[in-house]
Structure 1
Amino acid sequence: MFKISEFSQLTNISPRMLRHYDKLDLLKPEIVHQDNNYRYYTAEQINQANRILSLKNVGIPLKEIKTLLENKHDQTNYLANHRKRLETELAEKKLQLAYLNWLEEKKKSPEKTGMNYPIETKKMNDLLVLTYRQNVTSYYEEEQLWQQLFTTIRSEDLSTLGQSIAVFHQATSKNIDIEVMVSIPESLKHIYPDTKTFSPGLIASVVTNGSYASMPIIHADMDNWLKVNEYALSGNVFNIYHSSPANEDREEYYITEVCYPIEKPFNQH
């Protein structure tokens, strides 16, 4: 028989933790003297202590260790699932560290190009939209496309319109292929036979405000974010205009959501 201090030295478990294990019914002393509350452990309990420490050292909570020791037939499945959880957490931490390294490198840059906004991944619902698409020679000509689109919409329907979106299909040295679209309610589908369904699916998006002059920096940062998080672009980049020159006079009030349709490369599925 070993006193608690002796058992502590043999197992490398502090007396305080041994008392805690006792309260959890995880590792109870073989004998507790009622008159002085002295605790005594047996040699056989050393192996039990070792099993507890082995499970604790791989991150299994004490309350779950108790259940595992009582149901040994469940240990194989539990440990396999615990391994998957640890591997997932490790992969997430590695991505966070890679992203942190990138942000720290950008902070060292003499240019103020670091991102100060979060990138969100989300599933975007399908939208019923009216569209107008044309090749232009400058992004500044996008406004003309919006004007053309709105000439096709009845004035009485303007108050029912939803999101305004610009999709950037392709750009060459001479032309930029832009499609502007606005979502409409299903109740107006019979009025506009040329409607289509916009289905971006999973996207990475960032909401920014202010002048569109910052867009090249945002796109460069988004490209880096995709690489760090091991995503691939699965469609055309698009902007959602929550507030734009159409309804705001001052640039600082422009609110733009830059969206990248994304997917994991096939070999990572």
Structure 2
Amino acid sequence: MPKRRISDKTVQAAIGAAADGGTSILEMCGTSAQVPARPEAQEALARFHAEVVPLLVEAATRKPGELVQLVIRRCNLAEHYDDGTAGAPARLNNLEELREIARGYDRYAPPRGLERMLTDIALTADLDDLDESRQRVTLITLHMAKGLEFPVVFLTGLEDKLLPHERALAEPRGLEEERRLCYVGITRARSRLYLTVANVRTLFGKPVSLAPSQFLYDIPSALLHLVELEGHRSQGIVGHLARSSANVKLTAS
């Protein structure tokens, strides 16, 4: 990143001041006079705050592709990386790749697109260290599961308003995108697939009952084997399977 005359020592001083004041590091940069540092370092923190805050405002309304382009332009990233060294072309290619990745999330309404992109990037870093030879559970989103396979897959939260997500229903082609994601999850399993539905779950601190996902009714009932905990019956799915030859097994809780 372009240098802003902010040394590691100044960064640590800002972190300490933010912790002592019970505020964020960015907010502390906005009140940089409280940071125990030289006046020129305090001014550099204030300039950084003035540069970043408008971008945070833009992030609430811009699509990821637009936002990344805006950050590159305002922070002079292309000029910074195009420094005439042998590594400059590779760094510029990385910027272009970042633009393309961000544009892939433009189909989501702001700020959901940025949230999804950042979540996927964070999980991608974890997937780089994925060792499939080890016997362990891998917790992963549907987006990050693309291209991967596992012997056994648990696809959780097969309930309307979760999958499909209620926000997707308000977007053009949102339902089809959610259906595609569900298909991705289902086809990750090599030999055994578990689809789970909760009778009651806690959302935003409150217990709620959601209807089984509409995608479950798209699966031929003969392919489903229903296992229920005693006293926790999902009537919609039970009725769907009762009209077919599918198996229903009751398991004690």
User: Which TM-score applies when normalising by structure 2?
Assistant: 0.24
* Structure showing greater relative contact order (alpha-carbon pairs closer than 8 Å, 6 or more residues apart): 1
- As a proportion of its length, which structure holds more helix? 2
User: Which TM-score applies when normalising by structure 1?
Assistant: 0.23
- As a proportion of its length, which structure holds more strand? 1
